[in-house]
């Protein structure tokens, strides 16, 4: 299975491609559009979210709502097109302007903004939403919650509480403007954004906790170290703009191994673990417990109060320009990370059980 994404942030459209997707998969377009709307919500988003209303169009690989086995091509039209007219030669610290210019040597820094903009995650979300519908056939669900924004964070123990009743906490998350299922923490996060981002005209980072439930053991491989499930999580999650760190399982690595490892137990003839510090993955292979991924996002680079920079043409000191952006993207990132994890798990199932027809794949999967 291959996933490819193309398109410019202010071009006519964003384009996604899924190759080797099986035939017979029913696709609900409205579910995709619901996920796209989630990507545009959240306290602290910028003005572009008021301009765009993302909706997906599938132009290939779908026949009367059913996949055909041909490449699936998804298009999201851009409504905010070509707003930048003047060439820009002053890089923004923390953005890709300078490093991309140094490699590709095209003078206008606006060119690099088009590819480095988080706009492309709209297509990543759409592809991942297809993957979530694929995973429904195997009883697998992915979901995400905001863990922290700025200095406000959910205590780790409360995520153990979430895993006892995902349905309830997803509902509570959806009621929160910051996608945090705990009302007391949500209020503190919104205050943090208001006082330390919006009022100060700056940006805040944070973290997201992502889960996959009901994943059978045995997905993945240790044969190729770069194709382990955890290797793919690192690759895919680190491609998301602003992500600077990914952690699988329990983050406290200060405890000794005797406490960290997950002992076995047997319930009704089925092997389980007494806890899940490994985050559902061992040796690059799923072990049957919930997959748990924590993703860390740096503050967005574009600032209303600019930092010192330099004009690449004249080498004279200048202030970095301000280009429309968000103050905080962490709430919107929840749907992006859960869709990204869904893509990885869909890829593992297709690689392990074939890509011909969804019913044949299900038969092989559940027999194993």
**Residue 309 predicted with pLDDT over 80:** yes
Predicted local confidence at residue 113, as pLDDT: 87
**Of 81-90, 158-167, 284-293, 335-344, minimum mean pLDDT range:** 81-90
Give the mean model confidence (pLDDT) for residues 338-346. 98
* Tens digits of residue pLDDT in 148-187: 999 999 999 999 999 999 999 999 999 999 999 999 999 9
pLDDT of residue 254: 96
The whole-number average pLDDT for the span 277-286 is: 97
**pLDDT at res. 306:** 84
- What is the pLDDT at residue 323? 78
Alpha-carbon span 261 to 257, nearest angstrom: 6
Q: Is the pLDDT of residue 288 over 60?
A: yes
Instruction: Give the tens place of pLDDT for each residue, 96-143.
Output: 999 999 999 999 999 998 888 899 999 999 999 999 999 999 999 999
Q: For every residue of the chain, which 3-state class applies, written as one string?
A: CEEEEEECCCCCEEEEEEECCCECCECCHHHHHHHHHHHCCCCCCCCHHHHCCCCEEEEECEECCEECCCCEEEEEECCCCCCCCCCCCCCCCCCCHHHHHHHHCCCCCHHHHHHHCHHHHHHHHHHHHHHHHHHHCCCCEEEEEEEEECCEECCCHHHHHHCCCHHHHHHHHHCCCCCCCCHHHHHHHHHHHHHHHHCCCCCCCEEEEEEEECCCCCCECCCCHHHCHHHHHHHHHHCCCCEEEEEECCCCCCCCHHHHCCCEEEECCEEEECCCCCCCEECCEECCCCEEEEEEECCCCCCCCCCEEECCCCCCEEECCCCCCCCCCHHHHHHHHHHHHHHHHHHHHHHHHCCCEHHHHHHHHHHC
- pLDDT tens-digit series, residues 223-265: 999 999 999 999 999 999 999 999 999 999 999 999 999 999 9
CB 286 within 8 Å of CB 216: yes
Position 44 confidence tier, pLDDT thresholds 50, 70, 90 = confident
pLDDT of residue 299: 95
Average pLDDT of the chain, as a whole number: 94
- At 45, the pLDDT band (50, 70, 90 cuts) reads low
Q: What's the pLDDT at 322?
A: 81
Binned at pLDDT 50, 70 and 90, residue 50 comes out as: low
pTM: 0.94
Q: Which of 37-51, 77-91, 184-198 has the lowest mean pLDDT?
A: 37-51
């Amino acid at each position: 299975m291959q996933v490819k994404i193309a398109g410019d942030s202010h071009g006519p459209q964003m384009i996604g491609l899924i190759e080797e997707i099986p035939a017979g998969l029913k696709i609900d377009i409205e579910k995709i559009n619901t996920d796209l709307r989630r990507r545009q919500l959240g306290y602290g988003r910028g003005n572009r979210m008021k301009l765009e209303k993302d909706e997906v169009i599938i132009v290939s690989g779908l026949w009367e709502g059913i996949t055909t086995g041909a490449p699936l091509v998804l298009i999201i039209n851009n409504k905010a097109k070509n707003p930048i007219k003047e060439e820009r030669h002053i890089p923004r610290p923390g953005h890709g302007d300078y490093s991309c210019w140094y490699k590709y040597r095209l003078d206008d820094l606006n060119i690099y903004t088009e590819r480095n903009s988080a706009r492309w995650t709209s297509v990543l979300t759409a592809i991942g939403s297809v993957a979530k519908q694929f995973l429904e056939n195997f009883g697998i669900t992915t979901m995400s919650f905001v863990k922290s924004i700025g200095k406000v964070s959910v205590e780790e123990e409360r995520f153990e509480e979430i895993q006892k009743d995902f349905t309830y906490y997803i509902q509570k998350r959806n009621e929160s403007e910051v996608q945090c299922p705990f009302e007391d923490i949500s209020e503190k996060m919104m205050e943090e954004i208001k006082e330390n981002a919006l009022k100060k005209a700056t940006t805040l980072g944070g973290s997201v906790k992502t889960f996959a439930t009901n994943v059978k053991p045995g997905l993945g491989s240790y044969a190729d170290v770069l194709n382990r499930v955890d290797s793919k999580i690192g690759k895919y999650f680190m491609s998301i703009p602003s992500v600077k760190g990914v952690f699988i399982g329990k983050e406290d690595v200060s405890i000794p191994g005797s406490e960290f490892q997950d002992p076995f137990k047997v319930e009704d003839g089925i092997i389980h673990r007494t806890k899940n510090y490994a985050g559902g993955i061992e040796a690059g292979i799923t072990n049957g417990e919930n997959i748990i991924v924590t993703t860390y996002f740096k503050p967005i680079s574009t600032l209303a109060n600019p930092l010192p920079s330099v004009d690449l043409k004249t080498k004279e000191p200048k202030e970095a320009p301000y280009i429309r952006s968000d103050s905080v993207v962490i709430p919107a990132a929840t749907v992006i990370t859960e869709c990204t994890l869904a893509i990885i798990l869909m890829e593992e199932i297709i690689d392990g059980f074939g890509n011909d027809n969804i019913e044949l794949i299900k038969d092989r999967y559940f027999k194993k």
